Amino acid sequence: MGVHDGLYDRMYIDGRWRPALGDDTIEVLNPADEQVVGRVPAGTAEDVDAAVRAARAAFPGWAATPPAERAARLAALRDELAARREDIAATITAELGAPISFAQGVQSGAPITVAGSYAELAARHSFEERIGNSTVLHEPVGVVGAITPWNYPLHQIVAKVAPALAAGCTVVVKPAEDTPLVAQLFAEAVHAVGLPAGVFNLVTGVGPVAGQALAEHPDVDLVSFTGSTEVGRRIGAVAGGGIKRLALELGGKSANVILPDADLGRAVGVGIANVFANSGQTCSAWTRMLVPADRYAEAVELAVAAAAKYVPGDPLDPATRLGPLVSAKQLDRVRGYIERGVAEGARIVVGGTDPVEGLERGHYVRPTVFADVTPDMTIAQEEIFGPVLAVLPYADEDDAVRIANGTVYGLSGAVWSADEATAAAFARRLHTGQVDINGGRFNPLAPFGGYKQSGLGRELGVHGLAEYLQTKSLQF
Ligand code: NAD
């Protein structure tokens, strides 16, 4: 593991690595072999308080730092992350189980891109505008409490910290307990950049203790949370009680709608790749595939063929495309959903709950495709967060819209058609924050966030920056 080696039994608060006030620790396990790869302190409310006080003390100075200088620090942070890319990827593979090729690509590449995008935005953003006889100032909100999940552990941190710093806010991060090591690597990179003490702070710990203390802290002005809808609801209630600004990036059950004239082979192939990436642990994954009823059998056959390319394996092998799930808890959860799908009458065409041959250790699950799924089934309604696809038939376009919009979620989605304008017209009818047309590629500057119970607020690009700003109007 190199970088850690048990060195960091500490938390990064007020510009230095200091021991936690309590003695509790969290063991970090490698999901591929269940071996301990590190230990971090389990922070308490007192640690959170120390971090928030440091962030509060640093806020006036950082808020008054010219945007161009904040931009320069973010550019330096991007470079530090890029220089540590191999360590970042190795760490994410060790604690999350992401295949090394995916860890070296998306998992470490996206945060470098996002950090760079905020360096550029901070440099050219106008933090002032003129409206009639008013000058409107865009001022930083204050101290940010960021609570992040394990599925894209560095990206989720950077997608909050970079815009917060660009805006002039100071930050306390509480990373997921399954993946705190890459958060420590991030703190190392921040330290190397030489940000003023207290501008960025890291408190490791479990959600109901450190996370809750951060969300509740009276001196936190904005809580930004990514994770489950269940925890998001609680954090929203706590933040609401304190009249804090709130951003929630929650679950999804996104639809991949294949219109009758689409290239079925391509749409199904890309759809399978989308769902199985990161072992299905992606909030924006297209976990429901909607296919015209008269092409249903053909689509299921194509899905079976495409799924055969995803064989679970050792995440350290560069050829592996599908690693284990993050934890035993997540494995239980995913298997539970697969059982539920069978019990409710769906048909497994690939995968299932049997153990993966040759992989007795580790939290591996078979990538699974369900056919004969109806929209009301649990596996078509709830977020599973594993490599499990539900294929549903639809009768006509209106039926497809009804099914696509028929969950409590609305995070992402896809539409495929031979005619781009037809696909775009269909996309306008979807109640969701993003839609990829004919496999349109990820845009790190486009706003990302949910309709309905998928969340509040937007991350990335200028819309992500706006979350961390508040306005003051001066009338002349
Ligand atoms: P979670 O919501 O429990 O955890 C996310 C973060 O919130 C972690 O840092 C955790 O420590 C913290 N947290 C937990 N309880 C808290 C509390 N009471 N107060 C404050 N912070 C708290 O998610 P999980 O257990 O890691 O995963 C469970 C499910 O959540 C997954 O199966 C998946 O459906 C969903 N999930 C979604 C995303 C996403 O990106 N939308 C990411 C991870 C998980």
| Domain hosting residue 159, numbered range | 10-250+454-475
Which pLDDT band, with edges at 50, 70 and 90, does 313 fall under? very high
pLDDT at residue 2 tops 50 = no
Residue 201 lies inside a defined structural domain of this protein:
yes
SS3 label, residue 168: coil
**Pocket perturbation via mutation, ligand 1, pick of 173, 225, 231, 233 by most ligand atoms within 8 A of CB:** 231
Residue 213 and residue 300 in one domain: no
The closest-lying atom of ligand 1 relative to the alpha carbon of residue 174 is 9
At residue 106, φ and ψ (nearest 5 deg) are -60, -50
State whether 422 and 461 are in the same domain. no
Q: Assess if residue 270 is contained within a domain.
A: yes
Does the pTM of the predicted model rise above 0.75?
yes
Encode pLDDT of 33-73 as tens digits: 999 999 999 999 999 999 999 999 999 999 999 999 999 99
377-409 pLDDT, tens digit each? 999 999 999 999 999 999 999 999 999 999 999
User: What per-residue confidence (pLDDT) applies to 4?
Assistant: 52
The H-assigned helical ranges of 67-211 are: 67-83, 85-96, 100-102, 108-124, 153-167, 181-193
pLDDT grade for 474, boundaries at 50, 70 and 90: very high
Shared-domain flag, residues 224 and 360: no
Q: Which of 95, 177, 216, 283 is catalytic?
A: 283
Domain-embedded: residue 3? no
Q: Could you tell me if 162 and 461 are in contact, meaning their C-beta atoms sit under 8 angstroms apart?
A: no
At residue 263, the pLDDT reads 98
Largest CA distance in the chain: 74
Residue with structure tokens 């979620």?
409
Within a domain: residue 1? no
| 4 domain residue, yes or no | no
1: pLDDT strictly greater than 80:
no
- Cα distances (angstroms) measured from residue 20 to each of 7, 23, 85, 181, 208: 14, 7, 28, 16, 17
pLDDT at site 9: 81
pLDDT at 259: 98
Ligand 1 atom 10, closest CA:
207
Q: Are residues 161 and 228 in the same domain?
A: yes
What's residue 351's pLDDT?
A: 98
Does a structural domain hold residue 2? no
Instruction: Kindly give the distance from the C-alpha atom of residue 243 to the centroid of ligand 1, in angstroms, as a whole number.
Output: 22
Mean pLDDT value across the chain: 97
**Crossing angle of helices 153-167 and 108-124, rounded to 10°:** 10
Q: What is the CATH number of the domain that holds 400?
A: 3.40.309.10
- Which 3 state secondary structure label does DSSP give 30? coil
Average pLDDT over residues 437-451: 97
Question: What is the four-CA torsion angle of 110, 115, 118, 122, rounded to 10 degrees?
Answer: -170
Q: What is the mean pLDDT of residues 18-40?
A: 95
**pLDDT tens digit sequence for 142-198:** 999 999 999 999 999 999 999 999 999 999 999 999 999 999 999 999 999 999 999
Q: Does residue 460 share a domain with residue 401?
A: no
CA distances to 124, 399, 465 from 167, in Å: 12, 44, 6
Please identify, by atom number, the ligand 1 atom nearest to the C-alpha of residue 250: 41
pLDDT digits (tens, 9 = 90+) for 107-147: 999 999 999 999 999 999 999 999 999 999 999 999 999 99
Nearest atom, ligand 1, residue 232 CA: 2
283 flagged as catalytic: yes
Same domain, 197 and 335: no
Per DSSP, what are the bridge partners of residue 19?
Answer: 10
Q: Rounded to whole angstroms, how far apart are CA atoms 290 and 180?
A: 37
Q: Based on the domain organization, do 215 and 303 belong to the same domain?
A: no
DSSP-H helix ranges across 308-396? 328-343, 378-381
Regarding whether 202 and 262 lie in a shared domain, the answer is: no
Q: Averaged over 326-337, what is the pLDDT?
A: 98
356 and 408 inside one domain: yes
449 falls within a domain: no
Q: How far is the CA of 180 from the centre of ligand 1 (A)?
A: 13
Q: What is the CA angle 317-323-327, rounded to 5?
A: 135
Number of domains in the chain: 2
Residue type, 22: G
What letter would DSSP give residue 459?
Answer: B
Taking the CA of residue 249 as reference, the ligand 1 atom at the shortest distance is 41
Q: What is the pLDDT of residue 8?
A: 67
| Residue 426: both structure tokens together | 């269909």
- Going from the Cα of 201 to the center of ligand 1, the distance in angstroms, rounded, reads 20
Residue 12: pLDDT over 50:
yes
Q: From ligand 1's centre to the CA of 293, what distance in Å?
A: 36
Whether residues 271 and 242 fall in one domain = no
| Coil, helix or strand at residue 202 | strand
Q: What is the CATH number of the domain that holds 234?
A: 3.40.605.10
Same domain flag for 210 and 290 = no
Nearest by Cα to 467 from 252, 250, 249, 285? 249
364, two tokens:
């591996």
Answer yes or no: do 234 and 323 share one domain. Answer: no
State the pLDDT confidence band at 230, using cuts at 50, 70 and 90. Answer: very high
Give 133's contacts (C-beta < 8 A, 6+ positions apart).
475, 476
Residues with CB under 6 A from ligand 1: 147-151, 174, 176-177, 206-208, 211-212, 215, 226-228, 231, 234-235, 249-251, 283, 333, 383, 385
Tokens describing residue 89: 């990827």
3-state secondary structure of 49: helix
Q: Whose CA is nearest to atom 35 of ligand 1?
A: 228
